[in-house]
Amino acid sequence: MEPEKWLECCIYKVPQKLRKVKKDAYTPKLISIGPYHYGQENLKKMEDLKVRYFNEAVNQTKKNQADFTKCIREIGNKKILHCYAEVNDMNEKDFMKMILLDSIFIIEQLWRTYKNPPMSPPAMTTISRKCVWSMWDACVITCQKETKEDDPEKKNPKEDNHEKENPLRSYNTMQDLILLENQVPFFVLEELYDFAYNDLSMYQQNEDNSFLKLVHAYFLHFWNGSGLVPCSGFEKIFSSKKKKVKHFTDLLRYFLLPQNITCGSTFERVPCATKLSEAGVEFKGSRVGKSKTESLLDIQFRKSALLKICPFLNMSWLFSCFPCFKCLEIMQPVLELKSFIIGDETESVVRNLMALEQCHYPWEAYICNYILLLDNLINTAADVDLLVEKNVIVSLLGNNKAVATLINALCQQIVEGNSCYFELSEEIKDHYTSRWSKLMASLTNLYFKDFWRGTATVVGIMALFFTFWNFLRPFVCHP
């Protein structure tokens, strides 16, 4: 059978049309995992580290090389090979050796990060807290140095530095581990972990020590607060989602999936954020994590029953320039999205998730649906300004125009078969195309665009009223 026809196939080479748009987003910078980038000159330096990690794993787990070799052989060469869409010319022995070294390296990386984190946010000193701990910034080394130098309880900082993982290498390794072309099957990692590591004391007695929990803790360490990895209890994350994880890229997508979501027809294009705002739509951003079941992909368009019956009661023109009337928010439709944090590494993460969906989940391309919706909402920097003000977008790029360029570029060469936001787009379009919404847009844009213009309009209306009243008073009020 052709590789892409195998049922187990789940690790793909990124299609050339996507790769040409942004090649660096899909290419590992530090380490090669799996056969697609194996042997590349710029990645060979890490091969020695893989061997060192394997030797240390042998000593730590009390298993010899023959035990690991037997375990990987029992998994089966064909079972592993069929997970890859394209197969190179490696013989079986070299292929299985590569998979074994890569798998043990990943497990050791996760294990070491859990036991001796490169940097733990709660341990930061006062100076270090000025830096935001997330995968999106580049302050990890600065924070690490400040923490080491300012902690008086460390009796032997050199020894402690030796025990902890190098923060820069750990951070770059983590970025390479989520690339679609840089994967080994998840079941291989689980089998090796259960075989060699499951009995090692890492968690408290009677606590779940599954490999899935270790992976969740690893990504949560780097991405805590980013909205990509849920912070709620591990058991609650996976209790309601019955799905077999295929690899790390698939797991990251798995974290983002909403609880109840269905795909409809092709997404209907909606107006940009500024035009929707002028038409009376209020944008509201909220941080992921308030609810244990919510996801970044959860989007709601709320419109009260009263507004549906009497659309002329929409008072958004008044709220736009007089915030003191916000207590009457029920009198305007609200488009609520979860805050989307955008930084330097956002593009690489999102592109690999979208590439996976294009190859493996063409009819359940939820991440692609979400980015296409954002692409509709964002046309210019003015749209980003509005969404940043409403906390829908959290930009760490320092330039809202760069955010607009990034979002618009993500959708290049993306094909959408259907969309989970079809009904949402229909509701937004129905509101925007109504006669009252168009009148509302003109009214807001001309007379109530900001506080000062709104105030001038109100003063003008009052002056006109009193002038008219003074004209009528002699005829109405008789002595």
CB 344 within 8 A of CB 136: yes
Helices (H), 62-185: 65-75, 77-81, 92-115, 140-150, 157-163, 167-176
pLDDT, residue 159, reads 43
The structure tokens listed for 426 are 């229909």
Phi-psi region of 206 (alpha: psi -120 to 50; beta: other; left: phi over 0): left
**Can you tell me the distance from the alpha carbon of 439 to that of 444, in angstroms, rounded to the nearest whole number?**
9
- pLDDT of 453 reads 66
> Comparing C-alpha atoms, which of 411, 409, 369, 402 is closest to residue 384?
402
CA distance 80 to 60: 26
Which strands sit side by side in the sheet containing 334-338, from one edge to the other? Answer: 282-286, 334-338, 300-302
Among the residues of 121-201, which ranges form H helices? 140-150, 157-163, 167-176, 186-196
Determine the Cα–Cα distance for residues 382 and 405; give it in Å rounded to an integer. Answer: 12
Q: Rounded CA gap, 237 and 215, in Å?
A: 13
pLDDT in the model for residue 296: 86
This prediction has a pTM of 0.81
- pLDDT value at residue 260: 72
Q: Which residues pair with 341 in a beta bridge?
A: 394
Beta-sheet pairing, 334-338 with 300-302: antiparallel
Measure CA of the first residue to CA of the last residue in the chain; give whole Å: 103
**Who's near 247: CB < 8 A, 6+ residues apart?**
10, 11, 183, 184, 185, 186
> Per-block average pLDDT, block size 10, for the chain (479 residues)?
72 94 93 93 91 92 90 93 86 93 94 74 35 36 38 44 65 92 95 87 58 87 78 60 82 84 78 86 78 76 69 58 56 86 89 95 91 94 92 88 93 86 88 72 61 70 80 69
Nearby residues of 242 by Cβ (< 8 Å), 6 or more positions away: none
pLDDT of residue 443: 65
Give the torsion through C-alpha atoms of 453, 458, 464, 470, to 10 deg: -140
What phi, psi does 300 have (nearest 5°)? Answer: -130, 140
Are the C-beta atoms of 182 and 355 separated by less than 8 Å? no
**pLDDT attached to residue 244:** 83
CB atoms closer than 10 angstroms to residue 408: 14
